[in-house]
Structure formats: structure tokens, C-alpha cells
């Protein structure tokens, strides 16, 4: 036998046994987004490499070590998108969606990061992202958080996630803070590993979310970003907190939350869970008022978030015991004997036309009734519809309840839709 080829490390198949749960989650997501009036945008999965370097920042983890980058046949450097915001802003500028306009956009799809695969962390993973343009007010930051809270309720995971919130202020406030933080951290350089020492120079704010426990201890006494906020950011944050209080969404102000990408300002937030081990962040976002201009558009403010679908699906599996996934097959049509194929096909097509919400499978692969009933049982269908020679001649069908709720019945073909409608509603 020839050697088999396997999937790329960290890139998973979603098997037919898993897709029903994924579809269930995706349907909830779509329906919540629609209920807020947000519009879907679809971008390519490949973009020009400089887009990410410019949007996300050269010294971020994502750009410096996690991107799948390659040259195409014309030696243009391309990158599989590691996140959606950069591409969404690129598309918005390119199609004139952002200048002097308000947009509430969402997308769903695969993202790619070269990371060490483990539970909740993959090289191809899926995000749902929301990006809002042209609305500076904290009301929209609050709306985004309300939307996510509603989704967690719909997914049955609300009790298992908590909201962490911070404001990282204006660029200028952050620069002042950066100076103060570096002065403080330089006194503790002996506690730092090489990576942290490098961050101290390139991106000191990222040291705030270090996993190094000795350093974490020391950081409790570090200057706080919230004390360096500019007045406008301070008010914006106070209004956001006030709105969340008013609608009853609990949050924890986490002064160490800075998020990994460079483009944020003012609001940053994360929804975290303790139910998934180390990969605890299911959703993260924030405001990025300078990004559109930084990517060459007319200045337009923005705010958004992205959530990881793999982590949400894992969390739903872990904590939501109430889900009833739809049956893969509701009705299985079996037939054997002379002149039964066409009546069986006609019957199945009629059901698909008149009862399109039911899933009707036709046997198709021959064999005697015994074999066919085995398949029908295995399909998980509630009813088998049976057409033998006498049923075909008499315009009838035998309805057999495979889950054992009722006796087998002979039903006239022209009454079968009514019969099944009633049976499935019972």
C-alpha cells in the first residue's frame, strides 16, 4: 500500500460526528449577531505580508514568530491571516466603507498561527470577529460586551466566564506610562529571563502579563496604567463601566491587561474561563482608534473583538449538558422488490419538498429488508418508511417507528405527509 499523507500539525479535520455541535454554536453566533443588526463581511485568508506587520506591529508575538509567511510565484511575500482585524480594515479602506461612515461588521473563518499545538491552541483555528467603525462613544464598547454576554447565555456558558476590563488610554498616556514602568522594572532586571529582557526594550507593557511568578509578585507594586490615563480616556472608561453596571454585567478591572497586539487604545477586554486549563481566553478585544489611519485610510475610530471557536466549542462541551443536537436523519426510506425504486424515490422527494425541515435519507444501496433495516437503525432515524411490492401497487407505505414509540402503520401515500407532520409534533 502507498504511504498515506497526513494533515499538517496543528490543523484539524472537523469530523461528521463533531460538525453538529459546531453548527449549533455557529447558528447561535449568527443569530445573536443578526439580532444586533450587524452585517457579515468575508475577506480572503491570504493577505500581503506588510499589512500584518504594519497593523499588528513588528515586535508582537504574532508578527515576530507566529505567522505563516511565504513567497508566491512572483516573489511577493504573502501571509495566511493570523487574525481578521487587519484584513477587515484593509477591505474597508479599499471599498470606501469607513470614511465618514458607521459600520458594524462581523466575519467568521479560519486563522493561522505558527504556535505549539495543545488543547485550545492550534495552527489553523477559527475566529468570529466583530469590527465597528466610526463610533467613538463608550456606548458601542458597552454594546459589544452586552452582545458577547448574550451569546454566552445562549451557549449556556455564562456562569463559566468572567469579564476582565482595562483601559490603556491614548498613545501619549501609554508612552508616559511606559517610561515609568521601564524605570521601575530596571530595578528588577535580575528576575527576568532573556525574553523578558528583550521585551523591556521592545515592548515593556507585555511584561505585565508575564507568567514568571517572581516577576508577577514584584509587578503588584509597579506603577498602574490607570493612574497615567489621559482625561478623555479616563472619562470614556468611567462611562463604559457605568453602562455595564447599569445593565448588570459584572467585570473585574485588571490593570495588567494590555493585550498582545499593538493597535489597541482606550478599552481592552477579555472573557476568560478556568474550565479549559491554560488556554483560558475565549474572547478578546478592544478599541483601535488609530488603526485605519495607520493603514492609509482617512482617520476613523474602531472597536472590536475576536473569539476562538475551538475554545468555545470545548467550553460548551465541558459545561453545557442541556444541548439537544438535531438528529442526523429523521426518516429513512427502504424499498425492495419489483417496481419499488421509483415510488421510493418519489416519496422521498415529496417529503423533502413538503417537510423540508425533516432530514430524509433514501437507502440506495440494495439488499434485502433485513440489511436495510439495520442501516435504518444505524442512521438514527425516528421512522423507516417501507415500500415493498404490495405497497407500491396499492399506493401505500408502511411507517415503522424505529425508536419504538408506536405500532407499525400502513398509511396511504397521499396521507403520509399529514401523518408524519403529526407524528413529529407529538
Binding site residue list for L-histidine: 83-85, 113, 127, 131, 259, 263-264
| Cβ at position 209, least distance to ligand ATP in Å | 8
Which residue's CB is nearer to ligand ATP, number 83 or number 391?
83
What span, in angstroms and rounded, lies between the C-alpha atoms of 317 and 119?
A: 13
| Cβ at position 28, least distance to ligand ATP in Å | 16
Which residue's CB is nearer to ligand ATP, number 100 or number 274?
274
| Cβ at position 166, least distance to ligand ATP in Å | 14
Which residue's CB is nearer to ligand ATP, number 281 or number 360?
281
Which residue's CB is nearer to ligand ATP, number 90 or number 126?
126
Grid cell, residue 386, equals 417501507
For 244, counting Cβ atoms within 10 Å of its Cβ (0-12 exposed, 13-18 middle, 19+ buried), the class is buried
Task: With CA atoms as reference, report the closest residue to 112 among 96, 94, 125, 93.
Answer: 125
Supply angle C-alpha 13, 15, 17, rounded to 5.
155
- What are the DSSP calls for 345-358, one per residue? HHHHHHHHHH-TTS
What span, in angstroms and rounded, lies between the C-alpha atoms of 148 and 307?
A: 9
What span, in angstroms and rounded, lies between the C-alpha atoms of 372 and 224?
A: 70
What span, in angstroms and rounded, lies between the C-alpha atoms of 70 and 74?
A: 11
Helix and strand numbers (H, E) in the chain are: 15, 16
Which residue's CB is nearer to ligand ATP, number 148 or number 360?
148
What span, in angstroms and rounded, lies between the C-alpha atoms of 63 and 50?
A: 10
| Cβ at position 278, least distance to ligand ATP in Å | 8
Chain contacts with ligand ATP (rule: CB under 6 A): 83, 113, 115, 120-122, 125, 127, 260, 279, 281-284, 306-308, 310-311
| Cβ at position 124, least distance to ligand ATP in Å | 8
Output the residue with the shortest Cβ distance to ligand ATP.
Answer: 308
Contacts of 8 (CB under 8 A, 6+ apart): 123, 124
| Cβ at position 111, least distance to ligand ATP in Å | 7
Binding residues: 83-85, 113, 127, 131, 259, 263-264
Which residue's CB is nearer to ligand ATP, number 127 or number 265?
127
Which residue's CB is nearer to ligand ATP, number 26 or number 115?
115
Mapping DSSP to helix (H, G, I), strand (E, B) and coil, where does residue 228 land?
helix
| Cβ at position 107, least distance to ligand ATP in Å | 13
Task: With CA atoms as reference, report the closest residue to 261 among 123, 104, 41, 84.
Answer: 84
Contacts of 415 (CB under 8 A, 6+ apart): none
Amino acid at each position: 500500500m502507498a504511504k498515506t499523507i497526513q494533515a499538517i500539525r496543528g490543523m484539524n479535520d472537523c469530523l461528521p460526528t463533531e460538525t453538529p455541535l459546531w453548527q449549533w454554536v455557529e447558528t447561535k453566533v449568527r443569530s445573536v449577531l443578526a439580532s444586533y443588526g450587524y452585517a457579515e463581511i468575508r475577506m480572503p485568508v491570504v493577505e500581503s505580508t506588510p499589512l500584518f506587520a504594519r497593523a499588528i506591529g513588528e515586535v508582537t508575538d504574532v508578527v515576530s514568530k507566529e505567522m505563516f509567511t511565504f513567497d508566491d510565484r512572483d516573489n511577493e511575500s504573502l501571509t495566511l491571516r493570523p487574525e481578521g482585524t487587519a484584513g477587515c480594515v484593509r477591505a474597508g479602506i479599499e471599498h470606501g466603507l469607513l470614511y465618514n461612515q458607521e459600520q458594524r461588521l462581523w466575519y467568521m473563518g479560519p486563522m493561522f498561527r505558527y504556535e505549539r499545538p495543545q488543547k485550545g491552541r492550534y495552527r489553523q483555528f477559527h475566529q468570529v470577529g466583530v469590527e465597528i467603525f466610526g463610533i467613538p462613544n463608550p456606548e458601542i464598547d458597552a454594546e459589544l460586551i452586552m452582545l458577547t454576554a448574550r451569546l454566552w447565555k445562549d451557549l449556556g456558558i455564562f456562569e463559566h466566564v468572567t469579564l476582565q476590563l482595562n483601559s490603556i488610554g491614548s498613545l501619549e498616556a501609554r508612552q508616559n506610562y511606559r517610561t515609568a514602568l521601564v524605570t521601575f522594572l530596571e530595578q528588577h532586571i535580575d528576575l527576568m529571563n532573556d525574553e523578558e529582557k528583550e521585551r523591556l526594550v521592545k515592548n515593556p507593557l507585555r511584561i505585565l502579563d508575564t507568567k514568571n511568578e517572581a516577576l508577577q509578585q514584584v509587578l503588584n507594586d509597579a506603577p498602574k496604567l490607570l493612574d497615567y490615563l489621559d482625561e478623555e480616556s479616563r472619562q470614556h472608561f468611567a462611562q463604559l463601566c457605568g453602562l455595564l453596571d447599569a445593565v448588570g454585567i459584572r467585570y473585574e478591572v485588571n490593570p495588567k491587561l494590555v493585550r498582545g497586539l499593538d493597535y489597541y487604545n482606550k478599552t481592552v477586554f477579555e472573557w476568560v474561563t478556568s474550565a479549559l486549563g491554560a488556554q483560558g481566553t475565549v474572547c478578546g478585544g478592544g478599541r483601535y482608534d488609530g488603526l485605519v489611519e495607520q493603514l492609509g485610510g482617512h482617520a476613523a475610530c474602531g472597536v472590536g473583538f475576536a473569539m476562538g471557536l475551538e475554545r468555545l466549542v470545548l467550553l460548551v462541551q465541558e459545561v453545557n449538558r442541556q444541548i439537544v443536537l438535531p438528529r442526523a436523519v429523521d426518516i429513512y426510506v427502504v424499498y425492495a422488490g419489483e417496481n419499488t425504486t421509483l415510488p421510493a424515490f418519489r416519496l422521498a422527494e415529496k417529503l423533502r419538498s413538503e417537510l423540508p425541515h425533516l432530514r430524509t435519507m433514501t437507502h440506495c444501496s440494495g439488499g434485502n429488508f433485513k440489511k436495510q433495516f439495520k442501516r435504518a437503525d444505524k442512521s438514527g432515524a425516528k421512522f423507516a418508511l417501507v415500500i415493498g411490492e404490495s405497497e407500491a401497487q396499492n399506493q401505500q407505505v408502511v411507517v415503522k417507528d424505529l425508536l419504538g414509540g408506536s405500532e407499525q402503520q400502513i398509511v396511504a401515500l397521499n396521507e403520509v405527509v399529514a401523518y408524519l407532520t403529526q407524528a413529529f409534533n407529538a
